[in-house]
Chain A
Amino acid sequence: MLASVLSQFGDAFEFVFTSKESRSGGSDVGGAQLLGLLWDHLSLSAVSLAIGIAVALPLGVWLGHTRRGTFLAVGVANVGRAVPSIALIALFFAFLGTGFTNIALALALLAIPPILANVYVGIRQVEPETVDAARGMGMSALQIVRRVELPLALPLVVGGIRTSAVNVVATATIAPLAGVSSLGDPIIAYGVYGDAGRLGASMVVAALAVATEVSFGLAQRLADPLPSRRRSVPA
């Protein structure tokens, strides 16, 4: 049994690193071809994340700074967690059709709740006295946000982005269900790539997710203006 397990993983490794002819004939799969899929996966994730940040960050800042809408921010995060990613992809596909943009929008929607929740909490937990002092010194609201609240909220904000990034990278795996190419191709289109392909792609996706988590984790630590603090919000 162990031998069979090892051989399956061995085949998968081989798939990742060498290119050979696909099972159904025709084009090459594996090895270098995976790089193309990797690029597709990353670009989809990056665009989706960017859109998500563009929406959630200003909204979260506004809600947090004006101290309203706890229910909204936290409620969205809670419900957002429960919506199955596949449903999101399927709904966008069903109502808008296929295409990179549509699916990127679906993933962006997925990315919003953790960022929104963390930005909101991060801004809100800045001590009211600090903000009061800043206002007393004559800073406009925008200046307070830029110079006081955001820097202090940065670790939590980056933490939220980190959670979203990992979610997006993970979910981009099933984008092929809606006709958009990503590292999930070998997983979804099993016939073309075979067992080794499916397992190999899974390994790459897992590694990619861990890499994303680790690099954003590093960014989060670097973003901390007060290194003695730790802890992210339960996201």
Chain B
Amino acid sequence: MMLAQVEIRDRSSASCVADNGFCPDWIAHHLDRYWDPLGQHVYLTVVSVGLGFAIASALALLAHRWRRLITPIVNVTGILYTIPSAAAFFLLLPLTGRGKDTAVIALTSYTLLILFRNMIDGLDSVPDEARDAGRGMGLTQRQLLWRVEIPLALPAILAGLRVAMTTTVGLAALAFFAGAGGLGQQINSDLAFKSNVVVASVLCVLLAAVLDGAILVVQRLLTPWSRVA
């Protein structure tokens, strides 16, 4: 680690870089070294959140039926959520070794609490009278779930997905601890060089913004009634 003090002197490439400064020239020429880490980062984020979504959905459907499961599930996913990812990566190392899989497992478990809670809350927020009317009209339990409850729970579910997505982007920056690459690896490879840190960080935030925006668009498309009410 470099503990030397840094100053910004003139902006010409060579000396700028030597001084670990913020150098637009350098950035423009070396952008391509960020593509691979970005790709890894996208992979880690999307796969982890996707997996988390699948697991949380299964848990939520079960807990929606058998309410007693809610507390234990919240407790377990809560602990998984609380364990700092840096620690989590290393705690998993003996079990799953270095690499992408370890990182994905840790990141996935982090998303479970947020996703599960939002899904359950979403399902619970369906108005009772809609449920009563649905049953009274002859919808079976399953039809009620898929045609009424889940659509009405979508806003909450998608809100949870957005939070999970942006949080995971941030956390995936530490995945390099598990040997999984990502933009964090890039940052860590040259921690004192401002240009490097700034570019990698900006890419992270942009990635999060894009993913967040994408889900927002999906939400707008899937839930037209929530806009006009």
B86 in complex: contacting residue of A83, A88, A170, CB < 8 Å:
A170
Contacts of A212 on B, CB cut-off 8 Å? 82
**Interface of A (DSSP majority class):** helix
Q: Is the CB of A87 within 8 A of B87?
A: no
**How far apart are the CA atoms of A95 and B159 in the complex, in Å?**
35
Q: Is the CB of A84 within 8 A of B192?
A: no
Q: Is the CB of A81 within 8 A of B163?
A: yes
Between A and B, 7 residue pairs with Cβ closer than 8 Å are A8-B94, A83-B170, A179-B1, A198-B90, A202-B86, A206-B82, A234-B114
Binds A, one of B54-62, B134-142, B204-212: B204-212
Known: A86-B173, A199-B90. A94 touches B194 (CB 8 A): yes
Contacts of B184 on A, CB cut-off 8 Å? 84, 86-87
- Is B108 among interface residues, defined by CB-CB distance under 8 A? no
B residues apposed to A, CB below 8 Å: 1, 3, 5-6, 20, 78-79, 82-88, 90-91, 93-95, 114, 117-118, 159-160, 162-163, 166-167, 169-174, 177, 183-184, 187-188, 191-194, 197-198, 200-201, 204-205, 207-209, 212
A-B contact count (CB 8 A): 144
- Is A137 among interface residues, defined by CB-CB distance under 8 A? no
**How far apart are the CA atoms of A96 and B52 in the complex, in Å?**
38
Q: Is the CB of A166 within 8 A of B167?
A: no
Which of A174, A177, A187 has most B Cβ within 10 Å? Answer: A174
Q: Is the CB of A5 within 8 A of B191?
A: no
**How far apart are the CA atoms of A171 and B197 in the complex, in Å?**
17
**How far apart are the CA atoms of A210 and B83 in the complex, in Å?**
7
Closest 8 CB pairs of A and B: A84-B173, A170-B84, A82-B208, A87-B201, A202-B90, A202-B87, A8-B94, A205-B87
- Is A62 among interface residues, defined by CB-CB distance under 8 A? no
Q: Is the CB of A94 within 8 A of B191?
A: yes
- Residue on B with the closest CB to A110? B170
Known: A4-B94, A9-B94. A203 touches B87 (CB 8 A): yes
- Is A220 among interface residues, defined by CB-CB distance under 8 A? no
A residues apposed to B, CB below 8 Å: 4-5, 8-9, 78-79, 81-88, 90-91, 93-95, 97-98, 166, 169-171, 173-174, 177-179, 184, 187, 198-199, 201-203, 205-206, 209-210, 212-213, 234
Contacts of A84 on B, CB cut-off 8 Å? 169-174, 183-184, 187, 201, 204
Q: Is the CB of B1 within 8 A of A87?
A: no
Contacts of A166 on B, CB cut-off 8 Å? 82
- Residue on B with the closest CB to A199? B90
Q: Is the CB of B84 within 8 A of A209?
A: yes
**How far apart are the CA atoms of A213 and B82 in the complex, in Å?**
7
Closest beta carbon of chain B to A201's beta carbon, Å: 8
Q: Is the CB of A203 within 8 A of B91?
A: yes
Which of B20, B91, B172 has most A Cβ within 10 Å? Answer: B91
Contacts of A198 on B, CB cut-off 8 Å? 90
